[in-house]
Structure 1
C-alpha cells in the first residue's frame, strides 16, 4: 500500500500526490471512522474511511480490504479512489479514499419511506435488486463471496444505482471444512465478521465436514430483498428483542402479511422464498437469480413509492 500522506494545519491531506481538505465527520463504527473530504484538484467530495489497526493482524485485514477493492471495476461495486497506511506510534491507520454518495445507504432509503408509512414500489425493488445482483455476480465470478451483504452495506446513487461496499469481510467463495477445529474457526470468524441478522444458517453451526460456498450471499440477498419489501430484515426484530437469531434462521421464513394484499407480485415473493432456503445446497446461484429478475424487470424501471 502507498504511504504518501501529509496532514497540514488547515486540515489538508495528501494521498497519492493529490490534496484533499477535511470538511466534516460522517460517521464511525467499532474500528473505523468516515470523514467527508473535498479534492483540491477537482472540487469533488469523497468519503475517507480510516481503519484503526491495533496490531499486524488488523493491518493485514485492512490491506485485504484494499486488495478486494482493486479486483473490481464494476458499476455496482464501490470503487477505491486512493489509499495509504500511516504509522501512529506502535499502531497504524489504513486510509481508504472512496466516492461520496450523498443519498446514503439502501437502509436509509427504506427507513425514510417506512417512517412515512410508504414502501418501495416493485419496480424500484427490482431495479435495485438487479444492480446488487450484478455486483454480486462480479464478486462470485472472481471466486469470492462478500459474506456481509446488508442494507447498510449498499449505497444508492440518485438514479437508484446500488453500490456494494465494505469489502473487508470478503473471502474465497468456496471453503472446504474437514475438521471440527476448522469448523469452529470458520464459525468464530463468521460471528465476528458477518452481521447476525443477515448471516446464512450454515455459518451459525458449521459442520466438521462440509463445503461452504458463495450461496451464503444468496441468503443475505434474500434478507436484503425482504427488507426492501417489508421495511426491515426478517430477523431484525428477533435480534432487537434479544431472542435467538441462530434458532430463528433454521425455521422457514414466513412472508409478512401486514402489507396490503397484492402490493407485490407472487413472482417476486417466490423469488424471495427461493433465496431464503435453510439448506444452502438448495439455494440458487446468483446467475439463476439474475435470470429470474430479468423476467420480472419492466422495460422502464419505475421510481414511485407505494403507500402501505
Structure 2
C-alpha cells in the first residue's frame, strides 16, 4: 500500500542548531523517534535513551535492551534506503565467527514499519564520538594519536584479508569506544554524554505531524566525558562497503579522500581504501585535510594532488571521465572539449614536501618520526593502486622501531 503524499509545508525551525534536516521526515525519509520510545521486534525490544548522531541516510540512537538491560547503538536507515548492502557486508563478517577489536560488529538487525515507510534497523555496541569531533581530536596526546593510527590500519588490514573494501573511510567513520558503561543507569549515562537537549517540532499551525517526532534531539555534547579515556577506536558505517571482487563503478566518499584513479575509469579497489587510509592517518596526526579541497570540483582535487605528489601517470592521459566528474554550472559541462590540463602530466616543482607539511601540522612528532611518517604516507599514495603499500604492511611500519623512535 503506497503512502499518501504529504501537503507542502515547513516545520517550525528549531531555535537550537541541530544541523539535521527536519524536512526529511516525509514518506521515504527518516523514521520519527522520540526519547523513551520502544523499538524492535517481539523477541528483542529496545528503549531509546539518547541520540548519538545522524547522517544523510540514517539516524543513530543510544538504546537499552528491554531483555538484558545492555546498552547499544541503534541505527535506523531512511525508508528510501532499499539497498541492503551494509547489512549483507556486516552479516558476512559476523558469519566468519571472528571479529576484530577495531571493526564494529553487528549485534542484531530487523525491520520496522512507520508512517514514512519500512526501515532497516541495525544494532551495534554503544560507541562514543568520532574523530570528526574537533574537541576530541584536538585533545588527543601524541602517543594516543599514533595508537589510533595503528588501530585504524589494523582494522583495514582485517577487512582486506576478508575480501572486503570499506569504500568510505573518513574520520567521521572512526569512532571511539566509551569507557565501561555496563553498570551505569540511564540517568548516569546521560550525565556522562551530556544532558538531552531537545526542541519541540511543530507544524506552522502549532500541531504535530504524524510523520515526524514531537521533538528534535541534539547529539550529545560529551560534557560529562573524560576525553583522556578515549583511546580505542572502531571502523564503522559499511553503507559504501563492497566485496573486492565486486567493485562498484564509483564511490560516495567525500572529495577530500576521493582516490584519483576512479576519476580516470579505474574501478574502486583495496588500493582505493589505502588512499583513503593515508588521508585519515594524516588527519589523525595533523587535524587538517591532506588534500584541502572545499568545493566538490574534481578538477581542483586533481590540481591539488598534482601540486603535492607530482604529475599523474602518462597512461591516464585522455581518460578523465568528464561526464561523471567534470565541473558543471547550471547543468552544463564547462570543459566542453573534454581535455585535461596538460600540466596534470608534466613535471613541476612541488608546492611543499610531505615532511614540511607534517612539520607544521604535527609538531608533536619528532624529526625521525616525521620523516618515517612522511615516507609511509607517500608509499600509500602511489598513483597506481597496485603499487600502494598494503594495509598489513602499513601496520608493520606503524609499529616499527623507526617510527617509534622519539629521539
1:103-152 deviation per Cα after TM superposition (whole angstroms, max 9, x unaligned): x11222x55453xxx6641x223211111122111111111111111111
Post-superposition offset of 1:83: 0.7
Residues 204 and 175 (structure 1), Cα distance of their counterparts in 2 relative to 1, 3 Å cut: farther
Match among 164, 177, 186 for residue 144 of structure 1? 164
The yes-or-no answer on 1:135 pairing with 2:155 is yes
CA separation in 1, counterparts of 2:258 and 2:126?
27
The count of residues paired between Structure 1 and Structure 2 equals 270
Residues 17 and 204 (structure 1), Cα distance of their counterparts in 2 relative to 1, 3 Å cut: same
User: What secondary structure sits across from 1:73 in the alignment?
Assistant: coil
Residues 149 and 275 (structure 1), Cα distance of their counterparts in 2 relative to 1, 3 Å cut: same
User: Which residue of the partner structure matches residue 54 of structure 1?
Assistant: 80
Check the 8 A contact 1:147/1:194 in 2, yes or no: yes
Normalized per residue, the structure richer in helix is 1
Post-superposition offset of 1:246: 3.9
Q: Aligned-residue CA RMSD in angstroms?
A: 3.2
Check the 8 A contact 2:287/2:361 in 1, yes or no: no
Instruction: Name structure 1 gaps, 5 residues minimum.
Output: 1-6, 177-184, 303-308
User: Which residue of the partner structure matches residue 182 of structure 1?
Assistant: none
User: Which residue of the partner structure matches residue 215 of structure 1?
Assistant: 271
User: Which residue of the partner structure matches residue 287 of structure 1?
Assistant: 392
Normalized per residue, the structure richer in strand is 1
CA separation in 2, counterparts of 1:68 and 1:250?
38
User: Which residue of the partner structure matches residue 196 of structure 1?
Assistant: 255
CA separation in 1, counterparts of 2:103 and 2:60?
18
Post-superposition offset of 1:29: 1.4
Check the 8 A contact 1:145/1:173 in 2, yes or no: yes
TM-score with structure 2 setting the length: 0.59
Residues 268 and 63 (structure 1), Cα distance of their counterparts in 2 relative to 1, 3 Å cut: closer
1:221-244 deviation per Cα after TM superposition (whole angstroms, max 9, x unaligned): 110111011112212x32259782
Check the 8 A contact 2:149/2:284 in 1, yes or no: no
Kindly name which structure, 1 or 2, has the bigger radius of gyration based on alpha carbons.
2
CA separation in 2, counterparts of 1:119 and 1:12?
36
Check the 8 A contact 1:68/1:167 in 2, yes or no: no
Post-superposition offset of 1:159: 5.2
User: Which residue of the partner structure matches residue 64 of structure 1?
Assistant: 88
Check the 8 A contact 1:250/1:278 in 2, yes or no: no
User: What secondary structure sits across from 1:249 in the alignment?
Assistant: helix
Instruction: Name structure 2 gaps, 5 residues minimum.
Output: 1-32, 178-228, 310-352
User: What secondary structure sits across from 1:134 in the alignment?
Assistant: helix
User: What secondary structure sits across from 2:167 in the alignment?
Assistant: coil
TM-score with structure 1 setting the length: 0.75
User: Which residue of the partner structure matches residue 22 of structure 1?
Assistant: 48
Check the 8 A contact 1:22/1:37 in 2, yes or no: yes
User: Which residue of the partner structure matches residue 103 of structure 2?
Assistant: 77
